[in-house]
Amino acid sequence: MFPSISSYTWLPLSFLSKLRVIHEHGFEGVEIFATPRHLDINNAEEVQEAGMLIRDLGFRHVSMHAPSSLGDLSIPDETERDETVLACQRVLDAAMLMGADTVTFHPSSIEEDESESQDRWYSLIETLRDLSGYAEDRDIRVAIENFPQPLFGSDPVELYNRLEKLNLPNVGMCLDIGHAFVGGHLPKALSKFGKRIFSVHASDNRGNVDEHMAPGHGKAPWEDILNGLRQLDFRGPFVIEVRDGRKLEQILEDVIQFCDRLGLSEIGQLSH
């Protein structure tokens, strides 16, 4: 497990604008939050420039969060699903060029509807089957993020179990702590997981709304959460995904103190 910073933290500024800042603070992991105003993955020049800077700065761990406007991975309509798969493949191509080894996707874009739930799970699984081989050829892992309630895919245990049953080696789950805490799933759900947790998104809230506070500023039980992740022998990125109105430098100092206090820096690559 190692600390990483999501570029979501410095939206709406450009992705390139703050890479040096987080590297100077000692972080060797970064997650690219791919949204057009921030980093347009359909712009070959932007992708090339980002990849070069990531390599020049020497980041050791790079992941990507696919655009939220990408499409609906669980859409039952076959024509629309095929279009979404093609869009996902373009994301995987860009991720490869920037050196990312894991790409996180949202499972859907709608609220849970029991009448079409099974159709949506079937469509999501078919999408992941389609993406698995394409991602494997690019040495990339695909992670599906648990959503907040009431959206489809909000039960992290159900999502994990379905991904486990799918049994594709490069397809797993991104555990979003903020979403799971709002849904009342943490910390008890951690005992239900295993090796198929590929990534963690870390932010805090007060248990009602996904507020994207810095870890330690809300009510999430971080000691229990980190102990649970250690018991899973989780070795992936612990991605800080915060937007609280403060300057990035203030957030980074907060995160460093949080990591030191809870022993995360001893596990990961954080130094300062």
Within 10 Å of residue 158's Cβ, how many Cβ atoms? 14
Tokens of 193: 């997981």
Instruction: Count up the domains in the chain and report the number.
Output: 1
Q: Residue 154 maps to which CATH number?
A: 3.20.20.150
Question: Which residue, chain included where needed, has tokens 């102990």?
Answer: 227
Q: Sign of dihedral through CA atoms 132, 138, 140, 145? A: negative
| C-alpha to C-alpha distance for 121 and 116, rounded to whole angstroms | 9
In angstroms, how far is CA 23 from the centroid of its own chain? 19
Please say whether the beta carbons of 132 and 142 come within 8 A.
yes
Q: Report if residue 162 sits inside a domain.
A: yes
Q: Report if residue 152 sits inside a domain.
A: yes
Which residues, given as ranges, of the chain have pLDDT below 50? 266-272
Q: What is the pLDDT of residues 134-161, one digit of tens each?
A: 999 999 999 999 998 889 999 999 999 9
Q: What is the pLDDT of residues 239-249, one digit of tens each?
A: 999 999 999 99
Q: What is the pLDDT of residues 208-221, one digit of tens each?
A: 999 999 999 999 99
| C-alpha to C-alpha distance for 236 and 217, rounded to whole angstroms | 23
Structural domain boundaries enclosing 237: 2-261
Q: Report if residue 31 sits inside a domain.
A: yes
Q: Report if residue 268 sits inside a domain.
A: no
Q: Is the peptide bond before 150 cis (omega within 30 degrees of 0)?
A: yes
Q: What is the pLDDT of residues 250-266, one digit of tens each?
A: 999 999 999 999 988 64
Q: Report if residue 272 sits inside a domain.
A: no
**Predicted model pTM:** 0.94
| C-alpha to C-alpha distance for 240 and 244, rounded to whole angstroms | 12
